A and B are shown apart, each in its own frame.
Chain A
Amino acid sequence: MHRVELADLNKTFKNKAAVKDVTVCLEHGVYGLLGENGAGKTTLMRMFCGILEPTSGSILCDGMPIRQMGGDYHMLLGYLPQEFGYYKDFTALRFLNYMAALKALPEEYARNRIEELLELVGLQADRKNKLKTFSGGMIRRIGIAQALLNDPEILVLDEPTSGLDPGERVRFRNIISSLGKNRIVLLSTHIVSDVEYIADNILLMKDGRLIYAGDASRMLAEAEGCVWKCLVPEPEVPALEQQYMISNLRPHASQVELRVISRIKPAPNAEPAEAALEDAYLYLLNKMAEV
Chain B
Amino acid sequence: MYKKNRTHLKINTAISVLHMQGESASATDDLKSRFTAADRQLPIDERRKSETLALLCRETQSRANRPVQNKRLLLRNLLRYTDRSLPGIHILCCTALPLLLLYAGNRDFFGENDAAVMVFLSMVFPCFLTFFSYFELRQLCLTGIAELGKTCFFHAGQLAALTMAFSGILNLMAVSAGIFLAGLQWKIRLLQLCLYVLVPFIFMQCLCLGCMLTETGRRHPWLNAALGLTLPLCLSSLSQSQTAYTEAALLVWAAALFTGILILAAEIRIFFIKLEKGDILCTE
Contact = CB atoms under 8 A, between A and B. Distances in A.
Interface stretch (B36-44, B151-159, B258-266): B151-159
Given A53-B278, A75-B67, A107 B152 contact: no
Contacts, number: 102
Contacts of B74: 101, 104
Contacts of B154: 101-102, 104
A86 interface: yes
A105 B68 contact: yes
B144 interface: yes
Interface string B57-94: 00001001111100000100110111101000000000
A99 B152 contact: yes
Nearest to B62: A151
Contact of B144 (A74, A81, A90, A104): A81
A12 to B, nearest CB: 12
Given A79-B151, A105-B68, A106-B65, A87 B278 contact: no
Nearest to B158: A102
B281 interface: yes
A103 interface: yes
Given A86-B145, A87-B145, A113 B65 contact: yes
B148 A85 contact: yes
Contact of B151 (A49, A100, A105, A106): A49
A113 B151 CA distance: 19
Given A81-B144, A107-B77, A74 B65 contact: no
Contacts of B144: 81, 83-86
Given A51-B151, A85-B146, A89-B85, A109 B64 contact: yes
A97 interface: yes
A interface bracket (residues with beta carbon within 8 Å of B):
35 or more
A216 interface: no
B245 to A, nearest CB: 44
A101 B81 contact: yes
B282 interface: yes
A71 interface: yes
Contact of B281 (A51, A103, A105): A51
Given A84-B147, A86-B145, A106-B68, A53 B276 contact: yes
Given A94-B81, A103-B153, A146 B65 contact: no
Contacts of A84: 144, 147-148
B277 interface: yes
A98 interface: yes
B150 interface: yes
B153 A74 contact: yes
A109 B65 contact: yes
Contacts of A25: none
Given A104-B67, A109-B65, A46 B278 contact: yes
Contact of B143 (A85, A151, A156): A85
B60 to A, nearest CB: 11
B151 A77 contact: yes
Contacts of B83: 87, 89-90
A46 B282 contact: yes
B151 A74 contact: yes
A94 B276 CA distance: 27
Interface string A15-49: 00000000000000000000000000001001001
14 contacts: A49-B151, A52-B277, A52-B278, A52-B282, A53-B277, A83-B144, A85-B144, A85-B146, A87-B145, A89-B85, A100-B77, A102-B159, A104-B74, A106-B66
Given A75-B153, A78-B151, 7 more contacts: A46-B282, A81-B144, A84-B147, A102-B148, A104-B68, A105-B67, A146-B148
Interface of A: 43, 46, 49-53, 71, 74-75, 77-79, 81, 83-87, 89-90, 94, 97-107, 109, 113, 146, 150-151, 156
When A and B form their complex, which 4 residue pairs have the shortest distance between CB atoms, in order from nearest? A85-B144, A104-B153, A52-B278, A104-B67
